[in-house]
Copies of this chain bind each other. A is one copy, B any other.
């Protein structure tokens, strides 16, 4: 049995500066600046830029011990079909339940053109889907078919033309998830080389507009560096849950949900915040007892001991404040009248309201994407959604009246900014500003009519 010393307790009920300092430190985690993986990722990106497919082949051999030809990068239709057929029926059924809910939820995220007409001016914001996006899914123990659903389905709902899955070793169930999600192509490539190839394009791999989905440290570092060449969904850190619980919450559920987070990764952050000191002993006991029979007990125990905390606060208001300070990826409300707390909770990726909404439901079947901002990014970032796969374009159309009305302001501002050619570009439409003998009115030309409108 994994030795489990208990989760650390942080007591914020008093004004103990040392306890407050510990809590502040927990809150101040962030995606941070570049780390060790960045130099390695940069080398791979530059190599892929210089040598394309060859660099991808070489990095795959070096880092994964796989030898493949460019012709083998992509899974053929037969291989995809066969992989799908090998998935057990009950697992297929489970994926279908999840896919249907994810699809239905994201179909409610609708974005319409906005804009405004005023006189002969008409300006609008057009909405169009991105053309081609990459969905990344890690290999190894973190090969999660659920992540393929959670990233590809919002892209498909948005109307993206081509969705490409990059994953180092596509398992059967991942291939089936891709099929259900409407993925167009699957490349059996992973790591920083996959990110580089997707962002830059190679002879075999088409360049994409955006890369989404979680990956290891090298994938994350590569995504950070290609941002600008293409878009990315964000910089992912370890998974987190913060549970708000009051005196009526059930210790077995609290412990189970903390452990479901903790088992992901030794760096996962499972945090309980409560105003009820009496909860602590039963929660610690439940953690120890449930841990005992968990296959990933070692991982979960480390996460609990190293990033976890049972945080005691004075009252309900302090619970809300703690959640807002921490800005967790997942925020679970195991409190009375939980829905009433929601409006005050401003910084969380996803909020799980009440005992019948375990975070695990959000991971798989509820509908909203489980790709969420981590490391405090919930202050400013959103869950993955249809919005990630749309872009706006401003479309401006003025007639002579609007331009005539605005010209004095354009000219005044342009001259104030020292941009004379800007001022003249407006004046010239009315035959002024060049002093070059043009007629005073260009609004009718030799056809007797304005040429363009």
Contact = CB atoms under 8 A, between A and B. Distances in A.
Contacts of A334: 452
This chain's copy number in the assembly: 2
B395 A353 contact: yes
A226 B396 CA distance: 33
B235 A173 contact: no
A85 to B, nearest CB: 16
Interface in A228-283: 228-231, 234-235, 248-250, 252-253, 256-257, 259-260, 262-264
Interface string A411-423: 0111011111111
A211 to B, nearest CB: 10
Contacts of A406: 97, 101, 361, 364-366
Contacts of A228: 30-32, 224, 234-235, 375, 377
Contact of A336 (B42, B367, B392, B451): B451
A366 B398 contact: yes
Given A289-B436, A294-B421, A421-B296, A368 B381 contact: no
Given A108-B115, A361-B406, A364-B414, 9 more contacts: A126-B342, A228-B235, A253-B442, A259-B421, A263-B419, A296-B421, A350-B394, A352-B396, A358-B426
Q: Find the residue from A143, A395, A438, A452 having the highest chain B CB count within 10 A.
A: A452
A308 B359 CA distance: 54
Interface string A425-438: 11011000011101
B354 A393 contact: no
A30 B33 CA distance: 23
Contacts of A345: 393
Interface string A98-133: 100100110011100011101011010110101100
A300 B425 CA distance: 14
Interface stretch (A18-26, A65-73, A88-96, A183-191): A88-96
